[in-house]
Amino acid sequence: MGIDYSQKIPNNVDLSSDRQLQRALEKWQPHFIDWWKEMGPEGFQQKDVYLRTATSVDAKGWASYGMVQMPEYRWGIFLADQVEDRRIGFGDHMGEPVWQQVPGEHRSDLRRLIVTQGDTEPASVEQQRLLGTNCPSLYDMRNLFQVNVEEGRHLWAMVYLLQAYFGRDGREEAEELLVRHSGDVNNPRILSTFNEPIDDWMSFFSFTYFTDRDGKFQLKMLAESAFDPLSRTCRFMLTEEAHHMFVGETGLGRVIKRACEVMNELKTDDPARVRDHGAIDLPLVQKYLNFWYSSSLDLFGADKSTNAAAYFATGIKGRPDEDKFEDHVEADTEYAIEEPDADGKGIHQLKVPTRNAMNLIARRGYSKDCEIGLTRWNRAIKKAGIDFELTLPSERFRRSVGPFADFAMNPQGQPISRDEYDKNIYDWIPSPSDKAFVKSLMRQVVEPGKMAGWLAPPDRGINNQPVDYEYVRL
C-alpha cells in the first residue's frame, strides 16, 4: 500500500476523507514540530542528513534514501495492509471478528496502553538529544538521527490512534505526550527507564539493543490485538524497530572488536591497560549489559498480573508471535513462576494461571532474543583468541518490578545480604568512575570515514554507500 506524500500529513489511511480528524491532526502538527526543535537533536536541525523514509508498507522496497533536514522529515501515519476477514486469535473471544472501533468496555484499557507506548517514543528522542555532539563518526551520527526520526514517527502513529478513536480524551492525551519530558522532576515520562540519562554512546548502543528490543516485544503483543487499527499500526512499526536493534548490536560489536584488537596489540587482558590505550575493556562492556538488560526487564511488568490476564482474555493484547503457541485460550492451564522465600534466603516455584503469567512469558521470549547478539559477540571474542565470555545476568538481578523487586541478588541470581550487594554493586554495573572514563572518550569525530579510537569501523555503509560517505553534511 503506497503512502501519499502530497498531503500535508503523509498517510495511507485516506485521511482527507475525514476532515474533522485531519483538522485535529493538522492542529497538533505544529506543536510536534515545536517539540522536535526544542527537544530533538540539539545543534543539527538545519543539517542535511542521509535518511530513510517509508514510501509504502509492503514487505519489499518500502524505503527511500536521501538528504533531508530533520524538521522537514515527512512524518506521517502508516498502517500495514488490512487483513481481510481477520479474526481474534486468542482469549475468550477467539474466532470472532476483530474490532474496527473501540468497544466501550475496553476504552480505558486500550487508551492507557496506547498512551504508555506513545510516551516511550518521544522520551527516547529526549534522552538522546545531545549525543550528536560527541558522536564517534558521521556514520554513527546518521544512525542516531535515523533512530530519532523513526521514534518521532512512532509517536505520530500513537497520536493518530488517540485522535481517531478516543475523541476529546484522546486529543488531550496527545497533547500531554508533548508536555511530559524525560528526566523532568515535575513531569517525567511514564516509565522509569525512559527517564535514565543517555549521554554517552555505550548507553545509546545498550539502549538500542536492549530497550528497543523490549519495544519490539511490546509491539509484537499489541500487533496481536483485536483492535485492528492498533494491530496494523504496530505491524508497520516493527519494520522500523529492526534498524534500532541493528544499531545497538553492531555498535556494541564494534566496541568489542576494538577492545579485542587492543588486547592483542598490547598482549594483555589488563582492563587498566586497555583503558590507557583509549578502548573500552570487556569487563566494562559486561557492566553496561548488566545495567541495561536488568532495566529493560522491568518494562514487562509484574510476573504475576491480573491486568495481563484481563488483556489476554478480552483480546486487547496477546503474546508475541501468538501463532507459535499451541493453546490460544489458556483457560485452565498453569505456568510455573519463581518467587523469593519470605526471608530472602531462598527461592521457590509456584504455579499460577497461565493468563496471569503473560508478562513473564513475553519476557522470557525477550531474554532468549537478547542472546542472539551475545552469541555473535562471543564468537568474535573467541575468534580474536581472547578468553572472555559475555553473559546476561539473572532475571532476578537488580529488579524493581516483580517478585524479586528490592531483594538482594547477585548477577548469578543467588540471594545475598544487602550489605554484600551494596558493597559489590559497582563490580556489576558501571560505577561513577567507569562512567567518567567512558565520558572522557566521547569526543566528536566528523571527518567522513574517520572513527573514534574506542570502536572499530562498521563492516559496510548505509544503503550500499561507502563507510566514508558524508552521511551528515556539517
Q: Does residue 137 fall inside a structural domain?
A: yes
Task: Report the pLDDT value the prediction gives residue 222, as an integer from 0 to 100.
Answer: 98
138-184 tens-digit pLDDT: 999 999 999 999 999 999 999 999 999 999 999 999 999 999 999 99
109-132 tens-digit pLDDT: 999 999 999 999 999 999 999 999
- State percent of the chain over pLDDT 70: 99
pLDDT band at 6 (very low <50, low <70, confident <90, very high): confident
pLDDT band at 306 (very low <50, low <70, confident <90, very high): very high
Q: Does residue 1 fall inside a structural domain?
A: no
Closest CA to 462 of 63, 125, 130: 63
Task: Report the pLDDT value the prediction gives residue 197, as an integer from 0 to 100.
Answer: 87
Q: Does residue 10 fall inside a structural domain?
A: no
Q: Does residue 5 fall inside a structural domain?
A: no
Mean pLDDT, the chain, rounded, equals 96
Three-state SS annotation for the chain:
CECECCCCCCECCCHHHCHHHHHHHHHHHHHHHHHHHHHCCCCCCCCEEEEEEECECCCCCCEEEEEEEHHHCCCCECCCCCCCCCECCCCCCCCCECECCCCHHHHHHHHHHHHHHHHHHHHHHHHCCCHHHHCCCHHHHHHHHHHHHHHHHHHHHHHHHHHHHCHHHHHHHHHHCCCCCCCCCCCCCCCHHHHCCCCCHHHHHHHHHHHHHHHHHHHHHHHCCCEHHHHHHHHHHHHHHHHHHHHHHHHHHHHHHHHHHHHHHHCCCCHHHHHHCCCCCHHHHHHHHHHHHHHHHHHHCCCCCHHHHHHHHHCCCCCCCHHHCCCCCCCCCEEEEEEECCCCCCEEEEEEEHHHHHHHHHHHHHHHHHHHHHHHHHHHHHHCCCCCCCCCCCCCCCCCCCCCCCCCECCCCCECCHHHHHHHHHHHCCCHHHHHHHHHHCCCCCCCCCCCCCCCCCCCCCCCCCCCCCCEEC
Closest CA to 200 of 251, 253, 150, 269: 251
Q: Mean pLDDT across the stretch 242-263?
A: 97
Q: Mean pLDDT across the stretch 69-76?
A: 95
Say how many domains are in the chain: 1
Q: Does residue 440 fall inside a structural domain?
A: yes
Q: Residue 179 burial by CB count (10 A; 0-12/13-18/19+): exposed, middle or buried?
A: exposed
The answer on pLDDT for 58 being more than 80 is no
Determine the structural domain holding residue 127 and report its residue range: 15-473
Q: Does residue 230 fall inside a structural domain?
A: yes
The rounded distance, in Å, linking the Cα atoms of 215 and 184 is 22
Q: Does residue 233 fall inside a structural domain?
A: yes
Q: Does residue 430 fall inside a structural domain?
A: yes
Closest CA to 428 of 289, 279, 259: 289
CATH number at residue 248: 1.10.620.20
The answer on pLDDT for 59 being more than 70 is no
The rounded distance, in Å, linking the Cα atoms of 227 and 82 is 12
